[in-house]
């Protein structure tokens, strides 16, 4: 049976690869002579022929899971495509002496030096409860910084904060990790990993949007005019508190998406015919011009749009050409859509 780790799915973690029901360490170790230890948050899968790990495995505990108080709180922004992960540091274990930190920092140094073929893949998991891990994605280095916190003794404790980008793949074959450990072989690697190694291009989960050369996501709304709470509330009510594309009805998951950007048309920031209600994932894809809506209210998709997230594929790609219907209280001005789409080279 070919095991895979899939983003958002949970796996049994018994803490021992010898336990036949284990789906974490046992799967990762598999048939290998080299192994991976159950050693807290930062672990490495050893390679047979190299000092470079075949993979780095990072585990982030939800609050209250660890038996020890942890002053470091990781950011696992999976739907936004990035992870911020604190390194290993204590008063008696300085951050720059930590062997675990050194392994991660070496990966960042090599990525910065364009030695991407020498960078191990980084697999990030969260631990929502004892005995369970959830896969957050296949990651590559972005940048790191050093920050401090104050211990109970008053001592300032510095530590690395490592920032990773999640690659646009829903799953990884565990056999690929075994191939890397035995022969440093990437033949079964996801295509987005091969692309990153070869070119440095990061196709980011979940939309496949490419990061720019500075290592940041392209932002299409740079200087925005504020929208009042009253306009937001009134617009949500007109849309029935539902996403235009998916009918999601959770206000916390919904955004106002402007047809013509506020940064370029501040006078239209609160124009009722210049806004859509979208969930945050679809809003991101819309602002990145990965899909649009034409003046006949039909869904049009960019040829480069190749999201790994099945929800985006089902609700955008597979609906290309479909005409949207709006509540009777809604009018999106066709001329605004035409002006937006005039600037899209792929349309």
The answer to whether residue 304 is domain-embedded is: yes
The answer to whether residue 219 is domain-embedded is: no
> What single string gives the DSSP state of each residue in 101-168?
HHHHHHHHHHHHTT-GGGPPPEEEEEEEETTEEEEEEEEEEEEEEEEEEE-TTS-EEEEEEEEEEEBS
If residue 77 lies in a helix (H) or strand (E), which one and from where to where?
A: strand 75-77
Q: Are residues 43 and 158 in the same domain?
A: yes
* 213-265 pLDDT per residue, tens: 554 444 433 445 789 999 999 999 999 999 999 999 999 999 999 999 988 89
Q: What is the mean pLDDT of residues 17-41?
A: 87
Final residue before a domain boundary, out of 177, 210, 243 = 210
Q: How far is CA 240 from the centre of its chain?
A: 29
Q: Are residues 99 and 16 in the same domain?
A: yes
What's the structural domain count of the chain? 2
Q: Are residues 309 and 199 in the same domain?
A: no
The answer to whether residue 205 is domain-embedded is: yes
User: How high is the pLDDT of residue 321?
Assistant: 97
User: How high is the pLDDT of residue 217?
Assistant: 42
Q: Are residues 200 and 151 in the same domain?
A: yes
* Degrees, nearest 5: CA angle 307-127-281: 25
User: Taking the model in full, what pTM does it have?
Assistant: 0.81
Q: What is the mean pLDDT of the chain?
A: 90
Q: Are residues 329 and 235 in the same domain?
A: yes
User: How high is the pLDDT of residue 263?
Assistant: 85
* 281-333 pLDDT per residue, tens: 999 999 989 999 999 999 999 998 999 999 999 999 999 999 999 989 899 99
We report the CATH number of the domain holding residue 73 as: 2.30.280.20
Q: What is the mean pLDDT of residues 39-61?
A: 90
Express as a percent the part of the chain with pLDDT over 70: 94
Q: Are residues 54 and 185 in the same domain?
A: yes
- pLDDT category of residue 50 using cuts at 50, 70 and 90: confident
* Position with higher pLDDT, 93 vs 280: 280
First to last CA, the chain: 44
Are 148 and 158 in contact, with CB atoms under 8 Å apart? yes
Q: Are residues 203 and 294 in the same domain?
A: no
User: How high is the pLDDT of residue 64?
Assistant: 57
Q: Are residues 158 and 248 in the same domain?
A: no
User: How high is the pLDDT of residue 219?
Assistant: 40
- Domain of residue 88, residue span: 4-210
Q: Are residues 195 and 294 in the same domain?
A: no
* 61-105 pLDDT per residue, tens: 887 555 555 667 899 999 889 999 999 888 778 898 899 999 999
Q: Are residues 166 and 235 in the same domain?
A: no
Q: Are residues 234 and 182 in the same domain?
A: no
């Amino acid at each position: 049976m070919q095991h895979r780790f899939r983003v958002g799915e949970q796996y049994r973690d018994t803490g021992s690869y010898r336990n036949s029901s284990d789906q974490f360490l046992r799967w990762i170790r598999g048939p290998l002579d080299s192994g991976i230890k159950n050693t807290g948050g930062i672990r490495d899968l050893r390679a047979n022929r190299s000092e470079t790990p075949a993979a780095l495995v990072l585990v982030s505990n939800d609050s209250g899971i660890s038996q020890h108080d942890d002053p470091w709180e990781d950011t696992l922004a999976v739907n936004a495509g990035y992870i911020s992960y604190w390194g290993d540091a204590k008063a008696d274990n300085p951050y720059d002496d930590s062997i675990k930190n050194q392994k991660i920092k070496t990966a960042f140094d090599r990525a910065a030096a364009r030695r991407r073929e020498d960078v191990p893949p980084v697999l990030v998991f969260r631990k929502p409860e004892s005995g369970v891990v959830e896969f957050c994605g296949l990651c590559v280095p972005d940048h790191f910084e050093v920050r401090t916190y104050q211990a109970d003794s008053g001592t300032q404790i510095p530590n690395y904060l490592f920032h990773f980008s999640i690659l646009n793949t829903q799953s990884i074959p565990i056999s690929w990790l075994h191939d890397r450990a035995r022969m440093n072989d990437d033949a079964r690697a996801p295509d987005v990993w091969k692309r990153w190694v070869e070119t440095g291009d990061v196709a980011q989960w979940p939309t496949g949007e490419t990061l720019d050369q500075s290592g940041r996501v392209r932002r299409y709304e740079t200087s925005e005019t504020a929208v009042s709470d009253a306009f937001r509330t009134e617009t949500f009510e007109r849309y029935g508190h539902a996403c235009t594309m998916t009918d999601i009805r959770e206000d916390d998951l919904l955004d106002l998406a402007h047809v013509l950007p506020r940064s370029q048309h501040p006078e239209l920031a609160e124009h009722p015919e210049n806004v859509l209600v979208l969930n945050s994932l679809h809003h991101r894809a819309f602002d990145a011009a990965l899909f649009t809506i034409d003046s006949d209210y039909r869904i049009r998709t960019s040829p480069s749009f190749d999201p790994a997230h099945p929800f985006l594929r089902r609700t955008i790609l597979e609906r290309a050409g479909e005409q949207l219907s709006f509540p009777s209280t809604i009018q999106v001005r066709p001329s605004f859509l035409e002006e937006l789409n005039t600037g899209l080279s792929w349309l």
